[in-house]
Structures are given as C-alpha cells and as structure tokens.
Structure 1
Amino acid sequence: MNNFQQFLTRQAIMLPVSFGSWLALLLGAGMGFVPATGLLIAIYLAGDFSIRQIQTTSEVKRLGMTRSEYKHIDHQLSEAKAKLRQLNAHYGNIRSVQAFRQLNELNKLSKRIIGIVRQNPKKFYNVEKFFYAHLDSAVELSSKYALLANQPTKDEEMKAALQQTRETLGDLNIEIQKDVKRALATDLETLRFELDYADVLTGKEKKELEAPKDKTLPLEGDDSDDRKQIGS
C-alpha cells in the first residue's frame, strides 16, 4: 500500500503521454491552444484514473483482500495520520517533562503501527483497537492535558486532574506498546519458525560432520590373512 510510489508511477506514465498528445494536437492536427490544453487535461485525468484502478486491483489481488476491505483500511490509515497531526499539535502546550516524554512515546509508537499496517494492510485486523479507540484516546487525553496545563492558576483539584491525566497517558502508552507487539506477532512467529528450521538444519549438518568416517577397506592382496598364507 505504497501510495507515493504508485503516484510516481502514474506520473511517469501520464506526463509524457499527455504532453506528447498535446504537442500532436497542437502542431500535428493544427488545433488551437485552448482546446488542445483542454484535451491534455482530460487525457491526463482519464489516464491517471484508469492506472489508479489497475494499481488498486493489482494490489488487492496481491494481498488476497476484497476491494472494499482495501479501501476501508486505506481510509483508516488516512484518518490515523490526521489524528497523529492533532496529537503532535499539542507538543508546544505541554510543560511537564514526564507528559512530554509520554506524548513523544505515543507519537513514535503510533507512527510505527501506521507504518506496519501501510506495508501490510492485513495487519490492520491485529490492531483494530488502536485505530478505533487507542489513538482517539491519545488525542483526547493530550488535548485535555494541554488545556489544563495552560490555565493561569491551578488549584488542588486541577493539579489532581493533571496527575490523573499523566497516569492515564502512561497506561495508554502500555496499551499501544501491546498494539505494536500484536502488529508484529505474525512476523515474530515466522521468524521463530525460520530460526527453528535453521537450528534443525545446523544440527543435522553438525551431526554429519561429527559422524565417524567409514574406514577404507584393504586392497585385494593386502589382507593380513593372505600375507600369513603366503609366508607359510
């Protein structure tokens, strides 16, 4: 689900085609500048749309997903990036070092999950709680904390609310760390399997190397019994 790479591919195809068509219409067909430019835009948009559909179909087949699943996950990724921008907007309003570290950790963990799902959209189903609840909670809590922290006067009740918010942010950090582990779970299982398989092969090869070699059979005529018979 590399949208930027797909965008570059479309541009690499459509820009030369559109510009070439525009020159052909303008110089070869003698069409006026305005209608030729209008057709250039139409050719570009139609071609870009067609290639985008082909790219989506190809990606859906590669991933073994339905088109609706793919679009839903892509939409969730776009929303998650927007929420992450909201989360980052509170950096300047945080005064506590502890809260700043918590917010920074939330940001890094969230980016990692989004990156993992973008690379492999099927992993979305391992971390649905992150997209539907945990990231929303992070944005809401950071917004609440920034609002309370910027109040000119703070009574005991407000200080208690700030402390509680910091503790909740800490708990949320733990939950999102678990989300990261869930996102990587299948990769870890694959890695363990590959390591176990490699260990089996390594052990087999080691046994073969340590096994005693077969002794070379004596050549015909060199047998000790034969020598004794000859001597007698």
Structure 2
Amino acid sequence: MKPFEKFIMRHGISLPIMTAVFPVLYLGAEIGIIASGAVAAGSYIASSSTIKQFQFSSDSKRFHMTRSEYKHIRIQLKEAKAKIKQLQGHYYRVRSISYYKQIREMVRISQKIVTHVQQNPRQFYLAEPFFYSHLDSALELTEKYTLLVGQPIKDKELKIALQDTRDTLGSMIGVLETDLKKVLSTDVEQLRMELEYAQMTLEKHNTQALPMPTQTDSEGDMENDRKPINSK
C-alpha cells in the first residue's frame, strides 16, 4: 500500500469515529459543546496515531525488519529526498549545458536508488555508502562548482579549479551508477532465476507434448523389418 493510500485509510477511519463521538458526548453526556469537541478531536488524533503505528509495525514485519531498523531507513530516505531536491536547485544557477547534464544525471540516478530502496527497504544495506557519503559528496561538489562559477574574476587558477571540479563530478556519476547497480543486483538475480524456471517449465511442457508412436506405426515398422527376411 502506497503512503497516500495509507493516509486516506487512516483518516477515512478516524473521521467517522470523531463524527460519531461528538454527538454522543454533546447530546448524551451533556458536557458542553467545547468539551465534546475537544474529546472528539482527541479521539480523532488517537485513532489516527494508533492506525499509523499499526501500519508501521505491519510494514516492518512484511520486510522482516525490526521497528528501529525500519524507522532508521525511513529517516535516511527522507533525508536523501531533501538532498536530491537541493541538487535539483542547482539546475539553472549556472549557464552551462554540460554542467546541467551532469546534475540531471546525478539526480536521475539518485532518485532511482531512493525509489528502489523505498519499495524494498532491505536494499538499503546494499547502498549504505550512497546514503552516508556519496550523495553528500555529490551535493558538496555541486555547491562548490556553483560557488566558483559565480565568481566575477576568472583567472587561471580559478579555471583550473573549475575544470577539476567538473572532472570530479563526472567521476561522482560513475560512483552513483555503481551504487545503483548494487541496489539492482538482487532484482537482476531474481529475474534470472525466474527466467531459468520459465525455460525449464517450457522445456518440460514441450517434452510432454511430443507425439507418441501409434500402434499402426509400430506394426508397419515390424512388417517392413520382416520383408527382407521373407524375400530370401
């Protein structure tokens, strides 16, 4: 279930509870409209929070993870998304097509890693360097390049620094691509196993579907075998 669907489910359950609690307290208990509203709002918050915790526990069990592990990965994903947005913010800060392409590629790869880990949190452990250092390095390099390219004076030393930063950004793309390959490795392996199983099933089906020789064909072969003997 997607986050938005979980949100709708929580509030779809909590809202009717609040709606039912308010008239019961106001008309039945006669505690006043303010107190009834406060208690009803409290029931809404409590039920929504309880359902959210249940969903969280259910997800962690589904991925065979502890609550603390799952919570830590969720935090890392949230931080990574914020850093990717910062990367995107550098798109149009410099007028360079090559620089724009580098940033766009880093953003594209980073988003793929985050998406795959979000779908299967256990893949986080295959890309820990991405979350702990590589994404930070990409962001720092981008900010450094943006700062340097914005300087009004472009002397020889600054131009060398800019070129070195561009080269390092290119290398950083390769590092991120390696992180993505690690995350995808389990999916590739699973796909390979599924293909092998499908091929085995198909070969077995084809073998069973081969036509068996009929009795007439067998008798015809026996008669043909006897002909040379009778002709003698």
Normalising by structure 2, we get a TM-score of: 0.88
Q: Counterpart in 2 of 1:125? A: 125
Q: Counterpart in 2 of 1:87? A: 87
* Contact 2:113–2:180, Cα closer than 8 Å, also in 1: yes
Q: May I ask how many residue pairs the two structures share in their alignment?
A: 219
Q: Counterpart in 2 of 1:29? A: 29
Q: Give the aligned residue type for 1:216.
A: Q
Q: Give the aligned residue type for 1:45.
A: I
* Contact 1:93–1:149, Cα closer than 8 Å, also in 2: no
Rounded Cα–Cα distance in structure 1 between residues aligned with 2:200 and 2:39: 64
Does the alignment pair 1:5 with 2:5? Answer: yes
Q: How does 1:1-232 map to 2 (within 5 A)?
A: 2-209=2-209, 211-216=210-215
Q: Counterpart in 2 of 1:228? A: none
* Contact 2:92–2:100, Cα closer than 8 Å, also in 1: no
Deviation of 1:34 after TM superposition, in Å, equals 1.5
Q: Give the aligned residue type for 2:113.
A: I
Q: Runs of 4+ in structure 1 displaced over 6 angstroms?
A: none
State the Cα deviation string for residues 88-124 of structure 1 (Å, max 9, x = none): 1212212211110010111111111111111110000
* Contact 1:2–1:118, Cα closer than 8 Å, also in 2: no
* Contact 1:2–1:119, Cα closer than 8 Å, also in 2: no
Rounded Cα–Cα distance in structure 2 between residues aligned with 1:50 and 1:127: 32
Q: Give the aligned residue type for 2:83.
A: K
Q: Counterpart in 2 of 1:229? A: none
For structure 2, list consecutive stretches of 5 or more residues without a partner in the other structure: 224-232
Rounded Cα–Cα distance in structure 1 between residues aligned with 2:104 and 2:27: 57
Q: Determine which structure has greater relative contact order: mean sequence separation of CA pairs < 8 Å that are 6+ residues apart, divided by chain length.
A: 1
State the Cα deviation string for residues 192-229 of structure 1 (Å, max 9, x = none): 011111112222333344x45222259xxxx98xxxxx
- The change in CA–CA distance for 1:208 and 1:35 in structure 2 (over 3 A counts) is same
For structure 1, list consecutive stretches of 5 or more residues without a partner in the other structure: 225-232
Task: Output the aligned Cα RMSD.
Answer: 1.9
Q: Give the aligned residue type for 2:116.
A: I
Rounded Cα–Cα distance in structure 2 between residues aligned with 1:190 and 1:61: 21
SS at 1:91 equivalent: coil
Rounded Cα–Cα distance in structure 1 between residues aligned with 2:68 and 2:25: 39
Rounded Cα–Cα distance in structure 1 between residues aligned with 2:89 and 2:211: 70
* Contact 1:130–1:176, Cα closer than 8 Å, also in 2: yes
* Contact 1:95–1:149, Cα closer than 8 Å, also in 2: no
Q: Percent identity among equivalent residues?
A: 43
SS at 1:12 equivalent: helix
* Contact 1:99–1:166, Cα closer than 8 Å, also in 2: yes
